[in-house]
Chain A
Amino acid sequence: MKEATIQLPRQMSTLAADIDSMYYFIFWVSVVFFVAIVGAAIWCMIEFRASKNPQATPPGHHDVLELFWTFAPLILLIPMFHYGFKGYVQAMVAPSDAIEVRVRGKQWAWDFYYPGDTEPSPAELVVPVGRPVKMSMSSQDVLHSFFIPEFRVKRDVVPGMYSSVWWEALETTSTYNAATNKVEGEALDLFCTEYCGRSHSQMLAKVHVVSDADYKAFIAGKDKAPEGKDLAEVGAELYKKNACNTCHSIDGSALVGPSFKGLFGKNESFEDGSSSPADENYLRQSILQPQAKIVKGFAGKNMPPFVLKDWKLDALIAYIKSVK
């Protein structure tokens, strides 16, 4: 493990050390070449300035010198290519015993499916330390890219195709609190690095690395509704976690979709000319099958359908009711 430097983030996966040593190798080669070229140029600029050297010497041929600097750089280029490719293959091929998490990218949120899951867990990825973990990724709409700087992993997430990254984390960032059913502590940032439209820069997620035991506890407890909490409060958390907030405001302003402010009970008019009151059934349908009824003025926005457990739907609807 190495601390963050000015240039590179902290090394937190087994892949990072190799990548970083290549980075620094190229960095120092570049520094040497830059200093040599610029140094030579500046020395010439001083030594052969017109006021000191009024008459230039016409150059002759120097084919040996030309051939030397045509081919000598290969001595450095070939190792760069070789070790770069070796590291790349290592980063591309996941060990067969890796834990496989399915990742679904969509405008503008990340969904994670742990082994055996049919329902996604949004916005927070929890992985165990010291074990290879493989992300098996696809996209629901446009191109996205999965990037965690501390692990040095990145791969485009493409509709109509699967891609993957893997890593083995070197240290934990968080712990799982069974009492509150929450992962607590520092988290790493997961970025989308392929431009995907309006809220590209909001397409982030948190990555928690926990101990193996905590990971198992997390998997066991993740689908239980938290107890002893106000339903609307739980819904408020889900509103953020599921990235509803990237398209639906709570202050009345229209983002990509209609605002939640004062939505419940309002009479909504739709693109097809019909209208109906925004009651529980309307909200439920709009989450599960967003294309069924499109609010007037929001045609072509293509909200993706959400798959959510009933307790989560209850909580979200309770929250929307509370936004007045």
Chain B
Amino acid sequence: MSTAVATNEVPNYLTSETGWKSWAFTLDHKRIGVMYLIAILLSFLAGGIFALLVRIELAFPGETIMGPDWYNKSFTLHGAIMVFLFIIPSIPGALGNFFLPLMLGAKDVAFPRLNLMSLYCWIVGAGLLLYSIFTGAVDTGWTFYTPYSTSTQTSVMSTTMGVFVLGFSSILTGINFVTTIHTMRAPGLHWRRLPLFVWGQYATSVIQVLATPVLAVTLLLLTMEKAFSLGIFDPKFGGDPVLFQHFFWFYSHPAVYIMILPGMAVVNELIATFSRRAIFGYMFVAMSSVSLALLGFLVWGHHMFVAGMSEYSTMVFSALTFLVAIPSGVKVFNWTATLYKGSISFASPMLWALSFLFLFTIGGLTGLFLGTLNVDVHLHDTYFVVAHFHYVMVGGTVMGFVGGLHYWWPKMFGRMYNENAARVGWFLVFVGFNITFLTQFVLGSQGMPRRYWDYLERFRPLHGFSSIGALILGLGFFVLGGMFIHSLFRGKKAPRNPWGSAGFEWNTTTPPHPHNFEVTPIIRRGPYDYHLATEEELAST
């Protein structure tokens, strides 16, 4: 390996070593984070293309651009790619890998080799999914419900194997983060000073480690049933299809929190920085992440209120589901209270954080309809559910991820982006998103079922309107993609701390030193203590 450092320049992780091997075999969490970022953005592009195909097909009743077979495959691939390849690894894999050690004042994560292995697990899993697309793709929906998934002729096997391997990537990242947070905090960085981003990642990692094995077991059972006709889920062989749903949601509901907690974690950093004020009720916000992680394990049954569970089980799951509203509410109230008496500026990352606040509030409140048993009976498996989880997943996690990407981009690549393009992109995404999905709440409450290739004439205007929104949404992301690519090559050189943040990750040079810090930092204040930070720390130079 060659080291090429200009004598009078501070070395940075991007240029300190060169050659493809220096990337393929790197143990640097920052490089792994960057590779994750590229992988995740490509997945987002692929998932987005399938989303647009689905919405274009649904723009008019009957066949628009594809028949039912490819429609079913498209919505399945949209879901599977977005969930398993994009959202779950997005914030932990890319932003978490890069910034968690920087925030802790650590040299790297606790297990750098495991970290690299998690990336390779992701690549193998993604490769299997890609293989499944070229061998005919899968049409079961991302939920793989039995007995359809054991009887369909499409490539269920390679898809489930892909998801199985992706699970390991997620578990390895989780183990790594938990250990890193416990053992590698800089002197003075005690738990009450941890950045809330780290608290969020901590809660997420606990779920990743505890829940993902259940998905692995479930998919393995499914594969064995398909291969050897074991009677586990398929009643033809003496199995129980509802059992599959219990197993599946026992992972996939906690997975919802694997997806949303990191989004919330990012938003804490953005709101604090752009209000120049510590997050109100810091400890309550931190603990709300932990309690969401725990409650997330107890509410899987609310996906099955009409699936054929006993009334007693539905009662317990409904009651527990309402408890989720409490920590979610605590976060939203505290973020709003943080704005009060802050000094608020509206750089592009803050626009995404505020969008998160508005859209997640809608996503959370519409969850109340679905947690209420008798109302859920009417809304279950309609577009209302589709709209609800898109408000949480896109209005929440994606807003947080894109906001975080805007916020930390200068630190990662040493370049600024065009702020006007960022605002245009944000505006298109915000407007397009609401047109697409607010409409779907009404579609759903009127009775439009989900996963339909065709629909009745009476749903035509709303479907058309929703599709127009999707095109605007797509255009917005297209603008942002162009803006980031432009920034890589033509962007203005970024200063050390462009937003004047008090966060610890801004203390290192831009782009960061290969070993993060020249000397181990000693932490003497909280990450949001603007009144204790020195002017030198806050200087946006």
Where the two chains meet, the residues of A that have a C-beta atom closer than 8 Å to any C-beta of B are 4, 6-9, 15, 18-19, 22-23, 26-27, 29-30, 33-34, 37-38, 40-41, 44-45, 48-50, 53-59, 61-62, 65-66, 69-71, 73-74, 77-78, 80-81, 83-92, 141-143, 145, 147, 149-150, 152-156, 158-161, 163, 189, 191-202, 300, 302
The answer to whether A55 touches B343, judged by C-beta atoms less than 8 angstroms apart, is: yes
User: How far is the CB of A187 from the nearest CB of chain B, in Å?
Assistant: 12
A-B contact pairs, 14 of them (CB 8 A): A4-B446, A8-B378, A19-B377, A38-B358, A45-B339, A48-B340, A48-B341, A49-B345, A56-B341, A71-B326, A149-B378, A158-B242, A159-B235, A201-B454
The answer to whether A149 touches B446, judged by C-beta atoms less than 8 angstroms apart, is: yes
The answer to whether B344 touches A195, judged by C-beta atoms less than 8 angstroms apart, is: no
6 closest Cβ contacts across the A-B interface?
A: A160-B235, A149-B447, A87-B374, A84-B372, A88-B373, A44-B339
User: How far is the CB of A263 from the nearest CB of chain B, in Å?
Assistant: 22
Which among B68, B374, B449 is the interface contact of A193 at CB below 8 angstroms? B449
User: How far is the CB of B462 from the nearest CB of chain A, in Å?
Assistant: 10
The answer to whether B530 touches A56, judged by C-beta atoms less than 8 angstroms apart, is: yes
Q: Nearest A residue to B335 by beta-carbon distance?
A: A41
Complex CA–CA separation, A62 to B342 (angstroms) = 16
User: Which residues from chain A contact B344 at a C-beta distance below 8 Å?
Assistant: 44-45, 48-50, 53
User: Which residues from chain A contact B338 at a C-beta distance below 8 Å?
Assistant: 59
Complex CA–CA separation, A22 to B376 (angstroms) = 10
Contacts A59-B337, A84-B376 known; 7 new A-B pairs at CB < 8 A: A50-B344, A88-B311, A91-B374, A143-B148, A149-B447, A158-B307, A197-B139
The answer to whether B354 touches A197, judged by C-beta atoms less than 8 angstroms apart, is: no
User: How far is the CB of B142 from the nearest CB of chain A, in Å?
Assistant: 11
Per-residue 0/1 for B441-457: is the Cβ within 8 Å of any A Cβ (1 yes, 0 no)? Answer: 01001110111111110
**Given A33-B361, A154-B306, are A58 and B529 neighbors across the interface (CB < 8 Å)?**
yes
The answer to whether B373 touches A87, judged by C-beta atoms less than 8 angstroms apart, is: yes
User: How far is the CB of A2 from the nearest CB of chain B, in Å?
Assistant: 14
The answer to whether B281 touches A62, judged by C-beta atoms less than 8 angstroms apart, is: yes
The answer to whether A70 touches B326, judged by C-beta atoms less than 8 angstroms apart, is: yes
User: How far is the CB of A43 from the nearest CB of chain B, in Å?
Assistant: 9
The answer to whether B148 touches A80, judged by C-beta atoms less than 8 angstroms apart, is: no
Task: Please tell me if B491 contacts chain A, counting CB pairs below 8 Å.
Answer: no
User: Which residues from chain B contact A74 at a C-beta distance below 8 Å?
Assistant: 326
Complex CA–CA separation, A50 to B369 (angstroms) = 38
Task: Please tell me if B112 contacts chain A, counting CB pairs below 8 Å.
Answer: no
Complex CA–CA separation, A198 to B153 (angstroms) = 11
The answer to whether A143 touches B241, judged by C-beta atoms less than 8 angstroms apart, is: yes
The answer to whether B307 touches A156, judged by C-beta atoms less than 8 angstroms apart, is: yes
The answer to whether A57 touches B147, judged by C-beta atoms less than 8 angstroms apart, is: no
The answer to whether B373 touches A85, judged by C-beta atoms less than 8 angstroms apart, is: yes
Complex CA–CA separation, A147 to B280 (angstroms) = 45
Q: Nearest A residue to B278 by beta-carbon distance?
A: A59
Which residue among A44, A54, A83 has the maximum number of chain B CB atoms within 10 Å of its CB? A44
User: How far is the CB of B111 from the nearest CB of chain A, in Å?
Assistant: 36
**Given A85-B318, A155-B308, are A44 and B330 neighbors across the interface (CB < 8 Å)?**
no
Complex CA–CA separation, A22 to B445 (angstroms) = 13
User: Which residues from chain B contact A90 at a C-beta distance below 8 Å?
Assistant: 374
User: Which residues from chain B contact A156 at a C-beta distance below 8 Å?
Assistant: 306-308
Complex CA–CA separation, A147 to B240 (angstroms) = 22
The answer to whether B369 touches A193, judged by C-beta atoms less than 8 angstroms apart, is: no
Where the two chains meet, the residues of B that have a C-beta atom closer than 8 Å to any C-beta of A are 68-69, 72, 139-141, 145, 147-148, 151-153, 235-236, 239-242, 275-278, 280-281, 284, 305-308, 311, 314-315, 318-319, 322, 325-326, 329-330, 332-334, 336-346, 354, 357-358, 361-362, 365-366, 368-369, 371-378, 380-382, 442, 445-447, 449-456, 529-531
Q: Nearest B residue to A39 by beta-carbon distance?
A: B336
**Given A88-B374, A147-B449, A195-B451, are A141 and B147 neighbors across the interface (CB < 8 Å)?**
yes
User: Which residues from chain B contact A65 at a C-beta distance below 8 Å?
Assistant: 281, 337
User: How far is the CB of B307 from the nearest CB of chain A, in Å?
Assistant: 5
Which among A29, A40, A70, A84 is the interface contact of B374 at CB below 8 angstroms? A84
The answer to whether A80 touches B371, judged by C-beta atoms less than 8 angstroms apart, is: yes
The answer to whether B372 touches A80, judged by C-beta atoms less than 8 angstroms apart, is: yes
The answer to whether A34 touches B374, judged by C-beta atoms less than 8 angstroms apart, is: no
Complex CA–CA separation, A147 to B379 (angstroms) = 10
User: How far is the CB of B521 from the nearest CB of chain A, in Å?
Assistant: 22
User: Which residues from chain B contact A89 at a C-beta distance below 8 Å?
Assistant: 311
Which among A53, A87, A143, A191 is the interface contact of B147 at CB below 8 angstroms? A143
Q: Nearest A residue to B333 by beta-carbon distance?
A: A69
The answer to whether B329 touches A198, judged by C-beta atoms less than 8 angstroms apart, is: no
Which residue among A9, A85, A163 has the maximum number of chain B CB atoms within 10 Å of its CB? A85
Complex CA–CA separation, A50 to B281 (angstroms) = 22
Complex CA–CA separation, A34 to B362 (angstroms) = 7
Which among B326, B354, B373, B447 is the interface contact of A45 at CB below 8 angstroms? B354
The answer to whether A201 touches B336, judged by C-beta atoms less than 8 angstroms apart, is: no
User: Which residues from chain A contact B442 at a C-beta distance below 8 Å?
Assistant: 6-7
Complex CA–CA separation, A88 to B507 (angstroms) = 56
**Given A19-B377, A37-B332, A89-B311, are A81 and B450 neighbors across the interface (CB < 8 Å)?**
no
Which residue among B69, B276, B450 has the maximum number of chain A CB atoms within 10 Å of its CB? B276
**Given A6-B442, A56-B342, A59-B341, are A22 and B375 neighbors across the interface (CB < 8 Å)?**
yes
Complex CA–CA separation, A250 to B443 (angstroms) = 33
Which among A37, A50, A159 is the interface contact of B361 at CB below 8 angstroms? A37
Which among A4, A23, A80, A158 is the interface contact of B241 at CB below 8 angstroms? A158
User: Which residues from chain A contact B453 at a C-beta distance below 8 Å?
Assistant: 200-201
Complex CA–CA separation, A30 to B364 (angstroms) = 9
User: How far is the CB of A60 from the nearest CB of chain B, in Å?
Assistant: 9
The answer to whether B277 touches A58, judged by C-beta atoms less than 8 angstroms apart, is: yes
**Given A56-B530, A70-B284, A159-B241, are A302 and B151 neighbors across the interface (CB < 8 Å)?**
yes
**Given A8-B445, A189-B456, are A142 and B147 neighbors across the interface (CB < 8 Å)?**
yes
User: How far is the CB of A185 from the nearest CB of chain B, in Å?
Assistant: 17
User: How far is the CB of A13 from the nearest CB of chain B, in Å?
Assistant: 11
The answer to whether A154 touches B380, judged by C-beta atoms less than 8 angstroms apart, is: yes
The answer to whether B277 touches A57, judged by C-beta atoms less than 8 angstroms apart, is: yes
User: Which residues from chain B contact A4 at a C-beta distance below 8 Å?
Assistant: 446
Complex CA–CA separation, A196 to B69 (angstroms) = 12
User: Which residues from chain B contact A40 at a C-beta distance below 8 Å?
Assistant: 336, 339-340
Which among B69, B280, B381, B446 is the interface contact of A198 at CB below 8 angstroms? B69
Q: Nearest B residue to A19 by beta-carbon distance?
A: B374
Q: Nearest A residue to B322 by beta-carbon distance?
A: A77
The answer to whether A84 touches B318, judged by C-beta atoms less than 8 angstroms apart, is: yes
Q: Nearest B residue to A69 by beta-carbon distance?
A: B333
Complex CA–CA separation, A85 to B318 (angstroms) = 8
User: Which residues from chain A contact B242 at a C-beta distance below 8 Å?
Assistant: 158, 161
Q: Nearest B residue to A31 by beta-carbon distance?
A: B365
The answer to whether A147 touches B447, judged by C-beta atoms less than 8 angstroms apart, is: yes
User: Which residues from chain A contact B530 at a C-beta distance below 8 Å?
Assistant: 56, 58
User: Which residues from chain A contact B152 at a C-beta distance below 8 Å?
Assistant: 197
Complex CA–CA separation, A145 to B311 (angstroms) = 18
User: Which residues from chain B contact A69 at a C-beta distance below 8 Å?
Assistant: 329-330, 333
The answer to whether B330 touches A66, judged by C-beta atoms less than 8 angstroms apart, is: yes
Q: Nearest A residue to B307 by beta-carbon distance?
A: A156
Which among A30, A48, A300 is the interface contact of B368 at CB below 8 angstroms? A30
**Given A56-B530, A143-B145, are A23 and B375 neighbors across the interface (CB < 8 Å)?**
yes
User: Which residues from chain A contact B381 at a C-beta distance below 8 Å?
Assistant: 145, 147, 154, 193-194
